[in-house]
Amino acid sequence: MAANRALRSSQVVNIEDLRQLAQRRLPKSVFDYLDGGAEAEVTLAENCRAFREVTFRPRGAVAIANCDLKTRVLGHELSFPAMLAPVGYSRLMHPGGEVAAARAAGLAGTGYILSTISGHKLEDVKAASQGPVWYQLYVLGGREAAEGALDRARRAGFSALVITVDTPVAGMRERDPRNGMKELLGTSLFARIPYVPNILAHPGWLASFLLDGGVPKLENIVLPGKGPMELIDVASALSKAVVTWEDLRWIRELWSGPIVVKGLLTGEDARRAVAEGAAAVIVSNHGGRQLDSVSPTLRALPEVVAAVNGQIEVLMDGGVRRGSDIVKAICLGARTVLVGRAYAYGLAAAGHAGVARSIEILRADVERTLRLLGCPSVAALDRSYVETPHVWSVR
Ligand SMILES: Cc1cc2nc3c(=O)[nH]c(=O)nc-3n(C[C@H](O)[C@H](O)[C@H](O)COP(=O)(O)O)c2cc1C
């Protein structure tokens, strides 16, 4: 296949190259769903820009024989310090979807977090990976549906539960209504008509989508008496699915393993998560897709790290497009980072092979960055290797 050939060629040297391949293969509605952010996309852009504001302080004349990229997260040893973030609707990007991404993560020796909004059964996703797999919970479809999913996840061997707390309603992603995302996922043929020409202009994607059976159902949200939830229901269902600190106690009764709170940006919320028994927090603004104009996550990270004070692990995501971004986040206190779009562009471009290429690019970047910094291991990274702008310390 052309995309797979391109992956190996000099055309794909960084994540932006994968993004462009994804843009070529996907209809505009699906690409913009993946690529876009909320409202004016201020936070989406700032997440990436924040990494540019942090500069390195390398140590010269250091020879490193073996560079150690390993890290430990919630007791799992990862071969390099990045995991794959939960990305809903992955099966719309490529039929392999969540299964392909989990498999690529496992083969690369790292972890995968499965979104509730998955088109593949959670059992199949777990079976595809030889690495750790965590389940990300939205209480979509009510408590009974969530209880069913958690029971299945526990039995399938998911090793941690991620609770996303930044989605009391879906963010206003302005590209989606313009592209007719709702109409395209709906059942009315008439409503779809204006958007059909762009879909037809992407025959490769269309053929794989149709061969895969069309719009997938949400296989892990099984509504009592009705079966798996339809994909179209998600936006309205999210506003009825807000998770509060009180819900965390109910979830704790159902899930005895580690619970990770995803979507915090302040020291206050991080301390609350510690008090509620979280095993880790993920500093995240949902990749700039929820509340626009919140701070970029790299900038929020030091405050959360200080507030948590070593009591639990701190992970972060948002704007990671290069291995040097991963290194910067670790220098500022993250145990590991999650990548969202960086691997989803690869998935959309070429399925499993695209995700594998994305991970390979990031891993090579991390190793090269460590060597250029004169630092022998991920474990040895600390603040002395970076400089942050002075304004970051003024609040
Ligand atoms: C297309 C897309 C779908 C997402 N779906 C979910 C989801 O279902 N659950 C969730 O907790 N986060 C979701 N996220 C947020 C990611 O888990 C992660 O926080 C974000 O992508 C990180 O930013 P980055 O894309 O710049 O790496 C999604 C992100 C994208 C881009």
| Residue of 213, 109, 116, 216 whose CA lies nearest to 164 | 116
- Digit-coded pLDDT (tens) for 300-337: 999 999 999 999 999 999 999 999 999 999 999 999 99
The residue ranking higher by pLDDT, 305 or 10, is: 305
Q: Is the pLDDT of residue 236 over 90?
A: no
318 touches ligand 1 (CB under 6 Å) = yes
Q: Which residues contact 388 (CB under 8 A, 6 or more apart)?
A: 53, 54, 302, 332
| CA torsion, ordered 28, 34, 40, 44, to nearest 10 deg | -140
Averaged pLDDT of the chain: 96
pLDDT band at 62 (very low <50, low <70, confident <90, very high): very high
Nearest-CA residue for ligand 1 atom 8 is 88
Q: Is the pLDDT of residue 107 over 80?
A: yes
Clarify whether 286 is annotated catalytic: yes
pLDDT band at 1 (very low <50, low <70, confident <90, very high): low
92 touches ligand 1 (CB under 6 Å) = no
User: Which one of 35, 179, 286, 325 would you pick to mutate in the ligand 1 pocket, going by the greatest count of ligand atoms within 8 A of its CB?
Assistant: 286
286 touches ligand 1 (CB under 6 Å) = yes
Nearest-CA residue for ligand 1 atom 12 is 86
Q: What distance in angstroms lies between residue 184's CA and the mean position of ligand 1's atoms?
A: 21
Q: Is the pLDDT of residue 233 over 70?
A: no
| Mean of pLDDT values over 100-121 | 98
Do 159 and 137 meet the contact criterion of CB atoms below 8 Å apart?
no
CA–CA separation, 30 and 19 (whole Å): 13
| Mean of pLDDT values over 73-89 | 98
| pLDDT at position 390 | 92
- Digit-coded pLDDT (tens) for 111-125: 999 999 999 999 999
Q: Is the pLDDT of residue 384 over 70?
A: yes
Q: In the structure encoding, which two tokens stand for residue 263, read together?
A: 């979507």
- Digit-coded pLDDT (tens) for 28-58: 999 999 999 999 999 999 999 999 999 999 9
**Can you give the pTM of this predicted structure?**
0.98
- Digit-coded pLDDT (tens) for 153-189: 999 999 999 999 999 999 999 999 999 998 998 888 8
- Digit-coded pLDDT (tens) for 178-222: 999 989 988 888 999 999 999 999 999 999 999 999 999 999 999
What DSSP state is assigned to residue 378?
Answer: G
The residue ranking higher by pLDDT, 393 or 191, is: 191
pLDDT band at 7 (very low <50, low <70, confident <90, very high): confident
CA–CA separation, 317 and 326 (whole Å): 9
88 touches ligand 1 (CB under 6 Å) = yes
- Measured at the CA of 263, the angle between CA 258 and CA 267, to 5 degrees, comes to 90
Q: What distance in angstroms lies between residue 225's CA and the mean position of ligand 1's atoms?
A: 30
| pLDDT at position 394 | 63
Q: Which of 94, 120, 202, 286 is catalytic?
A: 286
| pLDDT at position 61 | 96
Q: What distance in angstroms lies between residue 384's CA and the mean position of ligand 1's atoms?
A: 30
| pLDDT at position 234 | 75
Q: Is the pLDDT of residue 395 over 80?
A: no
| pLDDT at position 185 | 87
| pLDDT at position 259 | 98
